[in-house]
Amino acid sequence: MQQSRESWASKIGVVLAVAGSAVGLGNFLVFPGRVAANGGGAFMIPYFIALILIGIPLAWMEWTMGRFGGMLGHGSAPGVLSAMVKRPYARYLGSIGVFGPLLILFFYVYIESWLLGFIWYALTGELAVASSSAETMGAFFRDYIGLKTTFSGIPAALFFFFIAFLLNFGIIYLGIRRGIETISKVLMPLLLVLGVIMLIRVLTLKGISSGLGFLWNPDFSRLLDINVWFAATSQVFFTLSIGIGTILTYASYVKKQQDIVLSSLTANAANEFFEVIIGGTIVIPTAVIFLGAAGAQDVARQGAMSLGFITMPMIFRQFTFMEANIGSIFQVLWFVLLFIAGLTSSISIIQPGISFLEDELELSKRKSVIVLAPVTLFYCLMVIFGMNAGAADEVDLWGFQFSLLFFGMIEALLFARIFGRDRGLAEMNRGADIRLPGFLTPVICYVTPAFLVVLLILWLTKGGGMDAILLNNLKEAQVSFIGLKMSNRTFIVLVRGCLLLFLAAINFAVYLAWKYKRSQDGVIQ
C-alpha cells in the first residue's frame, strides 16, 4: 500500500523552497555573463518580455499541474501528466521531467563542490595569493578542476565533490519538511544577508554610475539581433526553474486549498530580486568599473565559469575599506553566497527522481535514496573524469538546453489542451488569496505555448541546437578518458549511449509502475 505523502509545513516554507530552487548559480554567473555579452541594457528588454509571456505563465501552469497531481498521489512528471491526460503517452513524455533535472545534477553538483573548495582556499589565504594576476588565477582554477590540486593526498576537486554529494542526499533523505523546507528557511535569509552586504559595498565603489549605466541603458540597435532575444528568453527559462520538473514536484506537496497564484508570483519575484538586483548589480557594474565595458564583455564571452572563478576573485582582491584591504573577506563571501545558491537548487533537482520512486514505485524514502544516489554518483563521475573530453558539454546540451525547452513546451501544450481556459483558470484560482485576472488566460493558453514552440524551433535552427545534436561543429581530436585514448567523436557517442540507457531505464521504471501498481484515482487501468 502506498505510504501517505508529505506536505509542506507552512506557506512561507514552500515559497522559500521554490525560490531556492530558482535562485542558483545562474543568477550570479550565467545572468551577468549573458547581460554583458549581449549589450548590457539591450538584453533587459527581451528578458522582461520573456519573463511576462513565458516565465510567469509557465510557472503558474506548473504549480497548477503539480498541485493537481499531488491531490491524486503523484509528485513527479510521469504521474502528474498521466493524471491530467489519462493516456499512456503522457507518462512517457513525463519521463523527460525526471531525466532532465538529473542530467543537470550530474554537472551541477560538481560545480557546486568547486565552491566548497574555493571557500576553503579563500579562508586559508591561498586564493588571495593566486588571484594576484589573470595568469596565476587561471592556472589555479585549471589545476583545481583538472584534478591536479591535492587535499589530504587526493585530488581536492574529488574531496570536496564527495562532501557536496553527501550533503545533497543527506538533506533529501530528511524529507520535505525536515530537509528541504528547513534548509530553505535557514539558507534563503542567509543568502539575502550576504547578497545585501556585497551589494552595499559595490554600490559605494567609485564609478558605480558607469557600471549601472551599462546594465540599464539599452543600445536599441541590438534588439534586431535574434541571438539577444534567444539568450534572454532561455535565461528566463533557466532562472525560474521552469521546464525542469522541480516546480511540478514541489507543488505536488501543496495542500488542496492552499494558494498557488500568489505563492508562485512571490517565488518568482524573489528570484528576480536575487538575479537582477543582487546578482546583476554585484557582478556587471563591478566588472565594468575594474575592466571597462569592453573588458567586461570579453570576459563574459569566455563563459560563466571564467567570470565567477577567475575574474571576480581577482576583482574582489582589490576591494578596500578605509584603506584596509578586505579582498579576502569578499572572496569568502562570494563563494559562500554561490554555494548556498547552488545547494538550494541542487536539492530541488534531485527531488523529482525521489518523488517518482516514492509515489510511482512505492519505495520508502530510504530505499529511494539508496537507488538514486549510486546511479547519480556514476554519472557524476563520468562527467568529472570526462569533462575535458566533452562529457560536461553533452550534459549541458541535453539537460540545460534541450530538455528544458522541450519539456516546457510539452507542459504548456498539454495544459492548454487538457485544462483549457475555464478549467485551467478555475484550477489555478482554487484557494487563491489573489485571484488570477481572466484577461491573462489567453496569454497562458495561447501565447505562452506558441512562444515556446517558436523558441524550440529557433533553438534548433538558429541557436545551433541541431548542429550540436548532429555534431556538425565538432573538431576532431584525440581525447583521454580514465587512461583510454579515443577520438572525441567516439567518446561523445559513448556518453550519449550512457545517457540514452539512463533515459531507457527511467521509461522502463515508468512501464513497471503502471503495469503493476493499482491506481486509486482511476487514472491507471
pLDDT of residue 3: 59
pLDDT of residue 1: 46
pLDDT of residue 323: 66
Q: Is residue 3 part of a domain?
A: no
- Give the separation between CA 355 and CA 89, rounded to whole angstroms: 20
Give the structural domain span for 27.
Answer: 11-516
Q: Is residue 229 part of a domain?
A: yes
Residue with grid cell 540545460, as numbered in its chain = 400
- Give the separation between CA 3 and CA 326, rounded to whole angstroms: 53
Q: Is residue 55 exposed (0-12), middle (13-18) or buried (19+ Cβ within 10 Å)?
A: buried
Q: Is residue 245 part of a domain?
A: yes
Q: Quick one: what percent of the chain has pLDDT higher than 90? A: 62
Q: Would you give the DSSP letter of residue 518?
A: P
Task: Decide if pLDDT at 412 tops 80.
Answer: yes
C-alpha closest to that of 93 among 474, 476, 503, 393? 503
> How many other C-beta atoms are found inside a 10 Å radius of the C-beta of residue 303?
15
- Give the separation between CA 443 and CA 271, rounded to whole angstroms: 22
Q: Is residue 522 part of a domain?
A: no
Instruction: For residue 116, name the pLDDT band (cuts at 50, 70, 90).
Output: very high
pLDDT of residue 520: 47
264-274 pLDDT, tens per residue?
A: 999 999 999 99
Do 211 and 288 touch, CB atoms closer than 8 A? yes
pLDDT of residue 97: 94
Residue 481, φ and ψ in degrees, nearest 5: -130, 115
Instruction: For residue 156, name the pLDDT band (cuts at 50, 70, 90).
Output: very high
- Give the separation between CA 16 and CA 188, rounded to whole angstroms: 7
C-alpha closest to that of 351 among 93, 70, 89? 70
266-314 pLDDT, tens per residue?
A: 999 999 999 999 999 999 999 989 988 888 888 888 888 888 999 999 9
Task: Decide if pLDDT at 220 tops 90.
Answer: no
Task: Decide if pLDDT at 498 tops 70.
Answer: yes
Domain containing residue 406: CATH number = 1.10.4160
Q: Is residue 6 part of a domain?
A: no
Q: How many residues does the chain have?
A: 525
C-alpha closest to that of 166 among 357, 438, 380, 466? 380
Instruction: For residue 2, name the pLDDT band (cuts at 50, 70, 90).
Output: low
Do 420 and 445 touch, CB atoms closer than 8 A? yes
Task: Decide if pLDDT at 183 tops 90.
Answer: yes
Q: Would you give the DSSP letter of residue 436?
A: P
Q: Is residue 525 part of a domain?
A: no
Q: Can you tell me the mean pLDDT for 158-171?
A: 97
372-390 pLDDT, tens per residue?
A: 999 999 999 999 999 989 9
- Dihedral Cα 272, 276, 279, 282, nearest 10 deg: -150
pLDDT of residue 305: 86
Secondary structure, 3-state, 186-241? HHHHHHHHHHHHHHHHHHCCCCHHHHHHHHHCCCHHHHHCHHHHHHHHHHHHHHCC
DSSP string, 388-431: GGTHHHHHIIIIIIIIHHHHHHHHHHHIIIIIHHHHHHHHHHTT
pLDDT of residue 180: 95
Task: Decide if pLDDT at 59 tops 50.
Answer: yes
Q: Can you tell me the mean pLDDT for 474-495?
A: 91
pLDDT of residue 524: 42
C-alpha closest to that of 413 among 57, 56, 46, 18? 57
Instruction: For residue 473, name the pLDDT band (cuts at 50, 70, 90).
Output: confident
Instruction: For residue 495, name the pLDDT band (cuts at 50, 70, 90).
Output: very high
What's the domain count of the chain?
1
28: three-class secondary structure by DSSP: helix
Q: Is residue 1 part of a domain?
A: no
Instruction: For residue 214, name the pLDDT band (cuts at 50, 70, 90).
Output: confident
Q: Is residue 524 part of a domain?
A: no
Q: What angle do CA 297, 302, 308 make, to 5 degrees?
A: 90
DSSP string, 243-264: TSSHHHHHHTTS-TTS--HHHH
Instruction: For residue 517, name the pLDDT band (cuts at 50, 70, 90).
Output: low
Instruction: For residue 142, name the pLDDT band (cuts at 50, 70, 90).
Output: very high
C-alpha closest to that of 371 among 502, 516, 247? 502
Q: Can you tell me the mean pLDDT for 245-257?
A: 91
